[in-house]
Chain A
Amino acid sequence: MNTLIKLEIQRTLRNKKFMFFSVLYPAGLYLLIAGGASSTELVKGTDLTLPLLMMVSMASFGAITAVLVGNSERIAKEREKGWVRQLRLTALPGRGYVTAKVASAAVVSLPSILVVFLIAALVKDVRFDAAWQWFALTGAIWAGSIVFAALGVAVGYLATGDAVRPITFIIYFGLSILGGLWMPITTFPKWLQDVAEWMPTHAYAALGQSIELGNGPEVKDVAVLVAYLVIFGGAAAWLYRKDTRKA
């Protein structure tokens, strides 16, 4: 099982094209959006600057995209080529497969987060009051991305062939909008706000925000993320073992 994890990480690192785009495009987007913004002016209603706010949301957004889209598409492709059929003829348990896939996704998401932070600090002079916030943010966004990596594995098993990309994006946009990543959930009707609060994306964003403000992560957000990790990971492992359709 450890060999599989190591091998999955190794071959992800070898896939230069995939690494290049996954790691650099969140940083590119960040420069595009926050590039012209003032580094001192505060965003209305907060005591944070736009470059700082955007740094956290771009790092989160980049991490989710890389692991969710990356995993689901790569897995669907592997299933189609028949590698997963061969792998299922070994004694590897489902959780081993999911762990390996999540680990290889984490290898992609960490540098993408770090590059966004680096660019923000160098180009837009983003600073925090305390140094621990940098580490806490990196850790929180990275750890949170694991939840979406597990979701990516599950989606890679639910969909086949050409359907993977549209299904991934529907889930991805759905979760982003519902979780309030694109507009504050205070603009939602009450019932939708109640739903949004329990979205993994909402808990994920909230984790980063509370660290930005100098507070520690909320227990509820962590609990929600852990619950989703168990659900997505369990579903992925189950789908891996039960997949007898396209196999």
Chain B
Amino acid sequence: MMEYMTTTAHMSTGDRHRTGSPVVSFTNVSKSFGDVRAVSELDLQLRAGETVALLGPNGAGKSSTLDLLLGLRNPDAGRVEVFGTTPQQAIARGKVGAMLQSGGLMEDVKVRELVKLACDLHPRAYPVDQVLEHADLRDIADRMVNKLSGGQEQRVRFALATAGANELVVLDEPTTGMDVSARQAFWGVMRAQARAGRAILFATHYLEEADAIADRVIVLHRGRVIADGSAAEIKAKAGARRIVFDLDGYIGEGALRELPFLSSLEISGRTVRIQSHDADATVHALYGLGLYPRNLEVAGLGLEQAFIAITDAATAEEAAK
């Protein structure tokens, strides 16, 4: 189904990974809207073949960052380069495909007509029918664009962003409003693009998407990068692991509180839930107390909890200033 997108995959991802000149480079970029500092002294580099998730709470500056990257806005200070040139030039050369968070569509045209337009405007376009097929638009190709449901519109935007062979694909909350199967099809196509060596940058609030798709996660908070690394590194940065077990008989809460590296303790019935900065040491001490924990589980925090921990910490730090 996605042969044509992988035909250019002769260069293995490993070769291109983190090599060569940056695909995107932000140097000390700032952008304000009135009093609001949407992007603040941002430094950021993206390399060929990377799949990068941009996370952050509402208003963190994700869309603003992507707008700057795409040349839809100019920075107040700093420099944005895409493939070594201005964003506008990179786009004019057909190197960038993008899906906007709030991109309106042309009215009074059919889905197929609009997709055909995108294909005709792209210097290295794919055939219209294939683009329609990938975006799962074949059944609604003859519908008017302004009569579509929200998720269908989103699929049209996806088709517009992937009408040709881009080297960088930028997606702002791409799967918002898509149903489960549309979402799966979407990431299927994106994975194929990544395998073909394309750089992908996407903003999202679905952390499981970031966890499953991205090989690099950047967390923005009030226009600044507060974490940048693999999903595993982000989870580790949040620091804590989760320990869950059951206890029979008397549970001495006081003794449990004395366990080393504890960051939280919660007891409900027989079940004890602990967050610890050093799970090995905590569990060792647990046995040292002479207790016999049953059904013991030790797990890392999910990306979601890690994300919350990191952003909460950043908020607290800012409040302390």
Contact = CB atoms under 8 A, between A and B. Distances in A.
B47 to A, nearest CB: 22
Interface stretch (B92-100, B254-262, B289-297): B92-100
B96 A89 contact: yes
Contacts of B116: 3
Given A7-B106, A82-B103, A86-B105, A92 B121 contact: yes
Given A3-B116, A3-B117, A3-B120, A83 B104 contact: yes
B170 to A, nearest CB: 9
B271 interface: no
B72 A85 contact: yes
Nearest to A79: B104
Interface stretch (A8-16, A115-123, A153-161): A8-16
Nearest to B70: A89
Contacts of B118: 90
B157 interface: yes
Interface stretch (B107-115, B187-195, B205-213, B221-229): B107-115
Contacts of B113: 7, 10
B149 interface: no
Contact of A91 (B109, B114, B121): B121
A244 B91 contact: no
B19 interface: no
B104 A82 contact: yes
A161 B105 CA distance: 18
A100 to B, nearest CB: 10
A86 B157 contact: yes
Contact of A11 (B74, B107, B120): B107
A76 to B, nearest CB: 12
A15 B108 contact: yes
Interface centre among B74, B93, B104, B114 (most CB of A within 10 A): B104
A78 B121 contact: no
Interface in B205-251: none
B102 interface: yes
Interface in A63-107: 78, 80-83, 85-93
Contacts of A90: 91, 118, 121-122
Contacts of B120: 1-4
A93 B50 CA distance: 29
Contact of B98 (A78, A89, A91): A89
8 contacts: A2-B120, A3-B116, A10-B113, A82-B102, A83-B103, A86-B104, A89-B91, A89-B98
State the 9 A-B residue pairs at the shortest beta-carbon distance, nearest first.
A81-B104, A82-B104, A11-B108, A86-B103, A83-B104, A3-B120, A90-B121, A89-B98, A14-B108
Given A82-B103, A83-B105, A85-B104, 11 more contacts: A1-B120, A7-B106, A10-B113, A80-B104, A83-B106, A85-B103, A86-B104, A86-B160, A88-B71, A89-B91, A241-B88
Interface of B: 67, 70-74, 88, 91-94, 96-98, 100, 102-109, 113-114, 116-118, 120-123, 157, 160-161
Interface of A: 1-4, 7, 10-12, 14-15, 78, 80-83, 85-93, 241, 244, 247
